[in-house]
Amino acid sequence: DEVGELPLSTQARLLRVLETGEFIKVGSSQVEKSDVRVVAATNLNIAQAIERGKFREDLFYRLNSVPIRISPLRDRKEDIALLFRKFASDCAEKYMMPSITLTEDAREMLTNFRWPGNVRQLKNVTEQISVIEHERVITSEILQKYLPKADAALPVLASQSRDSDQKIFSSEREILYQVLFDMKKDINDLKNVVKTILEDAATSVPQDENPIFHSPAAPQDKTPVTLPLKYEELMPKKNHLAEVHDRSDFQEATEVEITNLSLEDAEKEMIALALEKHDGKRKLAASELGISERTLYRKIKEYNLEKL
């Protein structure tokens, strides 16, 4: 039923079974034979579905051996009363109750209704009346309560038009573009953060005031970044201002050269520097890097920096 709604991957499997007569059960490796006849039904316009790429043309020709087109119920008014009697009889037998019948005016009203839901809607209305109403003879007044006043507002199964498909495709495309734009924005923000950290690290202490931070000119393809191991070592000793420039009061500075211009490698090295600078205190490192602790934890795990 509703073969037109099958996903394309399922359509391919069905076509393979119909063509070869062979299949493999889930979890098995043994090929088995099939000998079946297929009756497929759909309310879609298959020609339009093929044109839109929603249905395989080869599967359509494989299934379309004996096409049977059934008109809507509103075009077969002579069948409406017969189907009503059939459904009423089945419902009475199922629930062990007397079957309902229609008066002449109720039968005319039933026949003239458009039935947008076709046979399923007629069956549903018949079962509702049979179960809910105490009266077994149904008049037009009773029937009117179970027929929708605006049949166009009912949720009727119908083939989607080309415009609706285009709208769905357009919506999905807009979502994809939005995701890509957000990713691009995140990457640009990360670049700015790394750039800011590099600039702040290079200009945090003037070189002319502290000779120890003066480093020789580096090649153009390398970016030297010099950081102290501990912040406390930068502070002068109390009552010994004359010894500020004495190298013995400082621990040897650590010079790190970023030789790889890859953004990922630069990010990894900056995270490692921040962790070393703050003795592995991730909260302080995250604050200096300008990122959240959760993001820092994720990056540490991603770059295998847990030992720092």
Taking the CA atoms of residue 185, residue 186, residue 192 and residue 196 in that order, the dihedral angle to the nearest 10 degrees is: 150
- What's the domain range around 204? 182-302
206 with 270, same domain: the answer is: yes
pLDDT tens-place string over residues 173-210? 778 778 887 888 889 888 888 888 888 877 765 555 55
Cβ atoms of residues 102 and 111 within 8 Å = no
CATH number at residue 135: 1.10.8.60
Q: pTM higher than 0.75 for the full model?
A: no
pLDDT cut 90: percent of the chain above it? 45
Asked if residue 169 belongs to a domain, the reply is no
Asked if residue 226 belongs to a domain, the reply is yes
Task: Please state which of the ranges 12-16, 62-66, 67-71, 191-195 shows the lowest mean pLDDT.
Answer: 191-195
Of 263, 293, 289, which Cα lies nearest the Cα of 276?
A: 289
Q: Note the pLDDT of residue 199.
A: 81
187 with 221, same domain: the answer is: yes
28 with 80, same domain: the answer is: no
pLDDT tens-place string over residues 24-46? 999 999 999 998 899 999 989 99
Q: Note the pLDDT of residue 204.
A: 60
**Crossing angle, helix 293-302 and helix 282-289, to 10 degrees?**
100
191 with 278, same domain: the answer is: yes
191 with 244, same domain: the answer is: yes
* pLDDT band of 163, cuts 50, 70, 90: low
- Tally of structural domains, the chain: 3
Question: For residue 180, what are the CA distances in angstroms to 11, 167, 173, 192?
Answer: 32, 20, 11, 19
Q: Which of 132, 153, 174 is the last residue of a domain?
A: 153
35 with 110, same domain: the answer is: no
